[in-house]
Amino acid sequence: MGVAAIIVAAGRGTRMGGGLPKQWRPLAGRPVLAHAVASLQGAGVARIVLVLHPDDMGRADIPQGVQVVGLTGGDERQHSVRSGLAALAADPPAHVLIHDGARPFPGAAMIGRLLAALDRHPGAAPALAVTDALWRGEGGLVAGVQDRASLYRAQTPQAFHYDAIAAAHAAHPGGAADDVQVARAAGLDVAIVEGDEDNLKLTWPADFDRAERIAKGRDMDIRMGNGFDVHAFTTGDHLWLCGVKLPHGRALLGHSDADVAMHALTDAIYGALAEGDIGVHFPPSDPQWKGAASHIFLRHAMDRVRARGYALANCDVTILCERPRIGPHQGAMRAALAAIMGVEADRISVKATTTEKLGFTGREEGIAAQATALLVRA
Ligand code: MG
């Protein structure tokens, strides 16, 4: 029971260029078809049957997590759909979405509207009202105006009660443009549900350009992390904060240079990557990191950012202490961090606050620092 989807992707059309059927052409780094699968999975459709041309069954880039069946019985669209319906027959779902693999972005909200409509109708299909004026033309001249009041642009997936559409396909003589036509031929009502402008069908090269822009927006991947660190004061005459050496009546106690602010920032970056913290990458128990300068940690974290395909959008460090005064050194600190991290200084904020003489920082037993880092897909 439940919902299943059939994605028909056996077409051979290469009008978009590139020598590949359009559903296999790369779009934002993966095949168009992979976007369609991911969109349906993202809408909560876990059971997906992919109907492929026999020539494509051995491809290495077939999306994962789907049931793949080869097209049989002919190479028209209806043969693909029948192949998909047959693959579901042994354990039939209550509802089935039949989708065209050349539409990479069937949105979750639209899928929800389709499935809701199946409570009241045996079929439901997404469509957009025609808003442009429609003309009839002859020889390059306007020959008349077409009333657009009852016209719609049809999309997929088209949604049906499985038993009803399976019976309709079995009874249909063939030659239907889509599954709505098959359903209507069997006397089934098909509700019109609001479609989605982003749910475009890739046909021409310009469609592909638009799909790239949509994919970019959808794939926007932002990761945020925070870090916090504390080091206690010990005897000494200077301390390190954000890579800058400050003369001071005490030093900070710790492995390495005890640069508490740089540690907090480094942990924020590891946190954004969900890659643990400094202690995971540079275990204090390992003698090779004893006394290591903190910029080694920060540089490593930024290397991980780039290796994972991200860039630092910005970071913000707050140092909590009564003394030393941070203000006069903010510029030098931002410049030092920028050089270590390989980013512009305007992406780095360093600021400080006292804790009004409250707590361990107020009693000047140590310094605390916290940091936030934001990463974006590069
Ligand atoms: Mg530390």
Task: Determine the average pLDDT of the residues in 244-252.
Answer: 95
* 71 CA → ligand 1 middle, Å: 60
Instruction: Please tell me the predicted confidence (pLDDT) of residue 256.
Output: 75
Considering the domain architecture, whether residues 43 and 149 belong to the same structural domain is answered as yes
Q: Please identify, among 201, 217, 233, the residue that sits at the C-terminal boundary of a domain.
A: 217
Q: Please identify, among 180, 197, 217, the residue that sits at the C-terminal boundary of a domain.
A: 217
* 192 CA → ligand 1 middle, Å: 61
Instruction: Please tell me the predicted confidence (pLDDT) of residue 307.
Output: 84
Considering the domain architecture, whether residues 55 and 120 belong to the same structural domain is answered as yes
- Answer yes or no: is pLDDT of 15 > 70: no
Considering the domain architecture, whether residues 321 and 341 belong to the same structural domain is answered as yes
Considering the domain architecture, whether residues 255 and 309 belong to the same structural domain is answered as yes
Considering the domain architecture, whether residues 27 and 162 belong to the same structural domain is answered as yes
Q: Please identify, among 217, 248, 282, the residue that sits at the C-terminal boundary of a domain.
A: 217
Task: Determine the average pLDDT of the residues in 251-257.
Answer: 87
Residue type, 144: G
Instruction: Please tell me the predicted confidence (pLDDT) of residue 377.
Output: 75
- Answer yes or no: is pLDDT of 378 > 90: no
Instruction: Please tell me the predicted confidence (pLDDT) of residue 351.
Output: 97
- In angstroms, the Cα distances linking 349 to 57, 208, 243 are 53, 40, 14
Task: Determine the average pLDDT of the residues in 122-151.
Answer: 94
Considering the domain architecture, whether residues 63 and 131 belong to the same structural domain is answered as yes
Considering the domain architecture, whether residues 25 and 162 belong to the same structural domain is answered as yes
What angle, 0 to 180 degrees and rounded to 10, lies between the N-to-C axes of helices 260-273 and 330-341? 40
Residues in the 5 Å CB sphere of ion ligand 1: 229, 263
Residue 215 — pLDDT band, cuts 50, 70, 90?
confident
Considering the domain architecture, whether residues 213 and 336 belong to the same structural domain is answered as no
* 259 CA → ligand 1 middle, Å: 7
- Strand (E) or helix (H) holding 161: strand 158-161
Residue 17 — pLDDT band, cuts 50, 70, 90?
low
Instruction: Please tell me the predicted confidence (pLDDT) of residue 14.
Output: 62
Instruction: Please tell me the predicted confidence (pLDDT) of residue 203.
Output: 87
* 376 CA → ligand 1 middle, Å: 26
* 231 CA → ligand 1 middle, Å: 6
| Token digits of residue 44 | 């909560």
Instruction: Please tell me the predicted confidence (pLDDT) of residue 235.
Output: 95
What is the per-residue burial (b if ≥16 Cβ within 10 Å, else e) of 317-344? bbbbbbebebeebbebbbebbbebbebe
Task: Determine the average pLDDT of the residues in 65-88.
Answer: 93
CATH number at residue 17: 3.90.550.10
* 263 CA → ligand 1 middle, Å: 5
Number of domains in the chain: 2
Residue 340 CB contacts under 8 Å (≥ 6 apart), including other chains = 243, 295, 298, 299, 302
Among residues of the chain, what percentage have pLDDT more than 70? 98
Task: Determine the average pLDDT of the residues in 262-267.
Answer: 98
Mean pLDDT of the chain: 93
Task: Give 311-354 pLDDT, tens digit per residue.
Answer: 899 999 999 999 999 999 999 999 999 999 999 999 999 999 99
- Answer yes or no: is pLDDT of 1 > 70: no
Considering the domain architecture, whether residues 209 and 230 belong to the same structural domain is answered as no
- Answer yes or no: is pLDDT of 264 > 80: yes
Give the residue carrying structure tokens 């270590």.
340
Q: Which domain holds residue 18?
A: 3-217
* 255 CA → ligand 1 middle, Å: 8
Task: Give 266-293 pLDDT, tens digit per residue.
Answer: 999 999 999 999 999 998 888 888 778 9
Considering the domain architecture, whether residues 274 and 186 belong to the same structural domain is answered as no
